[in-house]
């Protein structure tokens, strides 16, 4: 048998071994050819009377990460071509049949009459886990890194090869819905407890254990294909069902605000599918899958959260021809919260760290932050004392600049004051090697201005981390006027080494992410001053798809920091750059009331030691008359919050701050969670349509002022119907 992606053998006992091993890829993924190979393997097992059953496993460290989502992009392009060539109805029929091809193959495997056992040796996600679920038994290795799950909802989709039907037939409905809607990746023991894995065995014995299970006898007929099958949670229309579905629907609405077609489809196909036989249920799943696959939300989420995210992680913006940076030791200047956190993620990635502060007590305190973070992991069972000691051994606290002499990269993270940073840059450059790259972590100060304090500005770059550093996956790398290719390559190599996603932006005050999120928070301040109830502002932001409301976010990042930035902007740019209403609000909170945010347990919200946060009552008294909730134009509030943020992204494109829409979109989602259903700030504009977006901006500008006035680029694009991604495609074609 000629298979492209698998090896095939049959032992003396008549057990076939189908080993997944895609030679040209580091990880097995599902594409069209994998489906063809699986189909051929099922036919071979059925056709040979000597074969008693088949074990499916992987030759790589992991089983598979699931589908190659670029395959889905190709399907969309093929559909568009078919519409032109054959008409919409014929194109949709072809699209539907193609989108359910894997589902049909797995159903064929499931009902072929001979048993298949999946021997799962590592990560097994998405369509790969659907292959395992269709098999008649699942054996997992005791590999601590093993995870199984169906995470498709995170990129705007849902499992389309039987996952939504098999999981709730194998475990209770509540757990099934939670797993599907959250996209959970389960450890082997949790999956076994849910009945999704049958056995966990030592990794070295995995294949032999799978073969032994086949020899002992595996029923080739699934429970749901037998008479009198009963669902684990009982019928949908039953007392137990009514204890599940109404609250499940309420939780779904609360968590998603119905923004994600993939999540909505999960609720529908599980609900409908559990009421009919499996073959009909799978057809229901396939119809919804084809519909969701063609939705603009899924298209945008796949593009940003899979294709673009992957390309950036692999070095999309790395200068060609620059050798990989050898980063053995990294110096971190400043052992405060940010510096200490940067030291932690650097040491966690295996590099040595020199953590410098003004005195040893401060430096040691910074190192203690790493001790706390790892201890928290130990308490959760996610790390060990030995791992903690190994990590701490990599961090050298110091107050002596001479200790920086062996560093390959410096990351400065001292107080946000140009004079303080200038002094640190001067002292550090006197101690470091001539070839050492110097990076500044600053949230607002222009990198070109800081680079003027450097004697080698071509080796000076910005690396902007987001707080908390250990959890936030985005890093902005900022090009100063004279930053060279080696500095950029080194910065990107470093970001990759610490397992974060970089975007490259050009220098400007606030860079890209903070300019966008600054508008988001500013609009909330102005809404508050207009009398919109603060809780409504946060809740409507979440209804728009933002993970955190703007007032809550402001409390998280610190209100006093916002006031400092506002004052600095007023001095350096001019009074016209500051809204007096926002300044009035922040000055009152910080300077009169000492309400600086969550760090002080008081900001827009009060944060009690026990119980939930509550809005500070003093806000209503300060603002004066509040608008009655029923009189608030909710859609207008949502539009203001999303439009002001996306409009700032468009301005950044026009100014050359961001040069690639993929970076703008990924940066907005990872940096501050801009409505992931939209695919990011520029995808939101493209999805709305530039003409419609400009019209919306003009309407808001007429009512609320010039801050909503569309920039010149947007007006030009609206006149021609151009999109940001269309512009990118044209540039590529021209190149």
Q: What whole-number distance in Å separates Cα of residue 437 and Cα of residue 451?
A: 12
| Closest-CA residue to 585 (of 523, 541, 515, 542) | 523
Residue 393 burial class via C-beta count within 10 angstroms: exposed 0-12, middle 13-18, buried 19 and up? exposed
Type and span of the H or E element at 182: helix 173-182
For 710, phi then psi, to 5°, come to -65, 145
Concatenating the DSSP letter of every residue in 323-371 gives: PPP--SEEEEE--SHHHHHHHHHHHHTT-EEEEE-SSHHHHHHHHHHHH
Q: What whole-number distance in Å separates Cα of residue 313 and Cα of residue 84?
A: 36
For 595, phi then psi, to 5°, come to -95, 95
B/e letters for 557-571, b = 16+ CB within 10 Å, e = fewer, are bbbbbbbbbbebbee
- For residue 19, the 8-state DSSP code is E
Neighbouring-strand partners of residue 203: none
Residue 188 near residue 200 (C-beta atoms within 8 A): yes
Residue 572: CB atoms within 10 Å: 13
> How many CA atoms does the CB half-sphere of 542 hold within 13 Å?
16
Residue 732: CB atoms within 10 Å: 8
Residue 550 near residue 637 (C-beta atoms within 8 A): no
Neighbouring-strand partners of residue 409: 330, 437
Q: Is 657 helix (H, G, I), strand (E, B) or coil?
A: coil
464 a catalytic residue: yes
Q: Is 401 left (phi over 0), alpha (psi -120 to 50) or beta?
A: alpha
Residue 143: CB atoms within 10 Å: 18
Type and span of the H or E element at 580: helix 580-587
Q: What whole-number distance in Å separates Cα of residue 161 and Cα of residue 99?
A: 9
Counting other chains too, the contacts that 423-428 makes at CB distance below 8 Å and 24 or more residues apart are: 424/333, 424/334, 425/450, 425/453, 425/454, 426/453, 427/401, 428/331, 428/333, 428/401, 428/404
Residue 373 near residue 351 (C-beta atoms within 8 A): no
Q: What whole-number distance in Å separates Cα of residue 31 and Cα of residue 419?
A: 55
Which of 288, 299, 369, 464 is an active site residue?
464
Q: What whole-number distance in Å separates Cα of residue 428 and Cα of residue 450?
A: 14
Largest interatomic CA distance in the chain: 85
Concatenating the DSSP letter of every residue in 120-162 gives: E-S-EETHHHHHHHHSSEEEEE--TT--EE--GGGGT----SS
> From the centroid of its chain, how far is CA 579?
33
Q: What whole-number distance in Å separates Cα of residue 256 and Cα of residue 261?
A: 10
| Closest-CA residue to 511 (of 547, 462, 549, 555) | 462
Q: Is 30 helix (H, G, I), strand (E, B) or coil?
A: strand
Which residues are tagged catalytic? 464
């Amino acid at each position: 048998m000629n298979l492209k992606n698998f090896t095939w053998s049959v032992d003396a006992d008549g057990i076939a071994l189908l080993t997944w091993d895609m030679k040209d890829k580091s990880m097995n993924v599902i594409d069209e050819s994998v489906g063809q190979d699986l189909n051929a393997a099922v036919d071979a097992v059925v056709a040979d009377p000597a074969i008693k059953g088949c074990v499916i496993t992987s030759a790589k460290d992991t089983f598979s990460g699931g589908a190659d989502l670029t395959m889905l992009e190709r399907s969309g392009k093929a559909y568009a071509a078919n519409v032109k060539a054959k008409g919409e109805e014929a194109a949709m029929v072809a699209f539907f049949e193609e989108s359910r091809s894997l589902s049909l193959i797995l159903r064929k495997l499931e009902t072929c009459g001979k048993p298949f056992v999946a021997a799962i040796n590592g990560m097994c996600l998405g369509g790969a886990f659907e292959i395992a679920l269709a098999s008649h038994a699942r054996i997992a290795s005791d590999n601590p890194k093993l995870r199984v799950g169906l995470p498709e909802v995170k990129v705007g989709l849902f499992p389309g090869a039987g996952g939504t039907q098999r999981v709730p037939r194998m475990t209770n409905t509540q757990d099934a819905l939670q797993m599907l809607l959250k996209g959970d990746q389960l450890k082997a023991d949790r999956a076994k407890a849910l009945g999704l894995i049958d056995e966990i065995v030592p990794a070295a014995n995995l294949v032999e254990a799978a073969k032994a299970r086949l020899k002992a006898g595996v029923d080739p007929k699934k429970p749901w294909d037998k008479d009198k099958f009963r669902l684990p949670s009982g019928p949908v229309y039953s007392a137990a069902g009514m204890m599940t579905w109404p609250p499940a629907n309420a939780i779904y609405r609360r968590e998603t605000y119905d923004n994600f077609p993939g999540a909505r489809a999960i609720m529908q196909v599980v609900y409908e599918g559990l009421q009919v036989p499996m073959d009909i249920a799978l057809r229901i799943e396939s119809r919804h899958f084809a519909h969701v696959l063609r939705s603009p939300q899924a298209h945008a989420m796949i593009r940003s959260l899979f294709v673009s995210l992957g390309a950036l992680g692999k070095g999309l913006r790395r200068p060609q021809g620059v050798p990989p940076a050898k980063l053995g030791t990294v110096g971190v200047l400043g052992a405060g919260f940010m510096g200490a956190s940067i030291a932690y993620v650097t040491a966690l990635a295996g590099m040595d760290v020199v953590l410098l502060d003004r005195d040893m007590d401060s430096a040691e305190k910074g190192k203690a932050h790493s001790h706390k973070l790892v201890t928290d992991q130990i308490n959760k069972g996610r790390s060990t004392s030995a791992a903690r000691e190994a990590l701490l051994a990599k961090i050298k606290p110091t107050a002596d600049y001479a200790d920086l002499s062996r560093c390959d990269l410096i990351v400065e993270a001292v107080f946000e004051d140009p004079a303080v940073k200038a002094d640190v840059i001067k002292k550090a450059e006197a101690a470091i090697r001539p070839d050492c790259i110097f990076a500044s972590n600053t949230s607002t100060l222009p990198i070109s201005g800081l680079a003027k304090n450097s004697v080698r500005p071509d080796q000076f770059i910005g690396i902007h981390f987001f707080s908390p550093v250990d959890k936030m996956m985005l890093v902005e790398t900022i090009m100063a006027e004279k930053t060279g290719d080696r500095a950029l390559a080194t910065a990107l190599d470093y970001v990759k080494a610490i397992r974060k996603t970089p975007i490259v932006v050009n220098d400007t005050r606030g860079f890209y992410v903070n300019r966008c999120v600054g508008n988001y928070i500013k609009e909330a301040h102005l809404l508050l001053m207009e009398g919109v109830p603060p809780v409504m502002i946060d809740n409507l932001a979440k209804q728009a798809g933002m993970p955190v409301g703007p007032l809550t976010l402001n409390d998280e990042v610190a209100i006093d920091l916002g006031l400092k930035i506002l004052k600095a902007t007023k001095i350096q740019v001019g009074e016209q750059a500051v809204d007096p209403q926002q300044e009035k609000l922040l000055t009152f909170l910080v300077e009169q009331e000492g309400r600086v945010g969550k760090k002080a347990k008081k900001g827009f919200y009060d944060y009690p030691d026990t119980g939930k946060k509550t809005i500070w009552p003093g806000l209503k008294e300060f603002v004066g008359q509040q608008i009655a909730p029923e009189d608030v134009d909710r859609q207008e509030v949502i539009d203001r919050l999303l439009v002001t943020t996306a409009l700032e992204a468009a301005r950044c494109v026009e100014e050359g701050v961001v040069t690639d829409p993929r970076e703008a979109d990924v940066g907005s989602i990872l940096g501050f969670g801009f409505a992931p259903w939209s695919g990011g700030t520029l995808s939101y504009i493209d999805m709305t349509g530039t003409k419609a977006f400009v019209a919306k901006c003009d309407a808001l500008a007429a009512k609320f002022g010039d801050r909503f006035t569309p920039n010149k680029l947007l007006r030009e694009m609206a006149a021609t119907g151009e999109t940001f991604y269309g512009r990118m495609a044209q540039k590529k074609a021209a190149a």
